[in-house]
């Protein structure tokens, strides 16, 4: 099964994100569905049931304090000249997310997972297939201001099912922060 580790967002934040992404053009852009909005900490790829048990045991050993996150403004991967992913940045809580991800990486490395090379905390809100009017799109993004905050009290091991209508995510285990 395809798995990843993520911080899931409160519904009020998801609603706010969906509200602002409605402003993005529909043509050539696939917006992330409300139920799929999350902050990815680590993508694990395909893992079997036995490995899930190992992963769960390792994750439950991680001890990290709750923290606050503020989301602010838009960015792009890989860059502004070649836009494939539209994301919202992390302002407050960025260092906490990086440290939590580092701890997860260290623990998972003990059971055979590779460490992330360049982890960049972000919240993917859309994927770009094509932009007809890139200059107009960039102008629109400059005008769109986004700001929201929430408390992080846990992270989750998630399973991803790829369906014709898009991915469906299901929680496997929730790890509470202290």
- Enumerate the active-site residues: 38, 122
Distances, alpha carbon 114 to alpha carbons 28, 45, 128, in Å? 34, 11, 28
Q: Which two tokens stand for residue 151?
A: 């408390």
- Crossing angle of helices 94-109/49-59, nearest 10°? 130
Helix (H) or strand (E) holding 84: strand 82-90
DSSP secondary-structure letter at 10? Answer: P
Sign for the pseudo-dihedral over CA of 61, 65, 71, 72? negative
Q: How far apart are CA 120 and CA 112, in angstroms?
A: 22
Compute, in degrees rounded to 10, the torsion defined by CA atoms 133, 128, 39, 14.
Answer: 60
- 88 touches 49 (CB < 8 A): no
Q: Is 45 left (phi over 0), alpha (psi -120 to 50) or beta?
A: left
């Amino acid at each position: 099964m395809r798995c990843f580790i993520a911080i899931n967002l409160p519904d009020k934040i998801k609603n706010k994100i969906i509200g602002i992404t409605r402003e993005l053009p529909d043509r050539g852009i696939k917006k992330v569905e409300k139920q799929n909005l999350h902050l990815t900490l680590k993508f694990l790829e395909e893992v079997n049931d036995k490995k899930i048990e190992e992963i769960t045991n390792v994750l439950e050993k991680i001890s990290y304090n709750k923290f606050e996150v503020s989301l602010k403004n838009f960015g792009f991967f890989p860059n502004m000249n070649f836009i494939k992913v539209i994301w919202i940045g992390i302002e407050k809580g960025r260092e906490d997310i990086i440290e939590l991800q580092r701890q997860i990486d260290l623990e998972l490395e003990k059971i055979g997972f590779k460490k992330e090379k360049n982890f960049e905390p972000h919240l993917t809100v859309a994927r770009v297939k094509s932009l007809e009017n890139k200059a107009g799109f960039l102008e629109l993004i400059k005008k769109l201001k986004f700001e929201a905050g929430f408390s992080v009290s846990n992270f989750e091991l998630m399973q991803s099912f790829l369906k014709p209508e898009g991915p469906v995510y299901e929680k496997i285990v929730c790890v509470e922060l202290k």
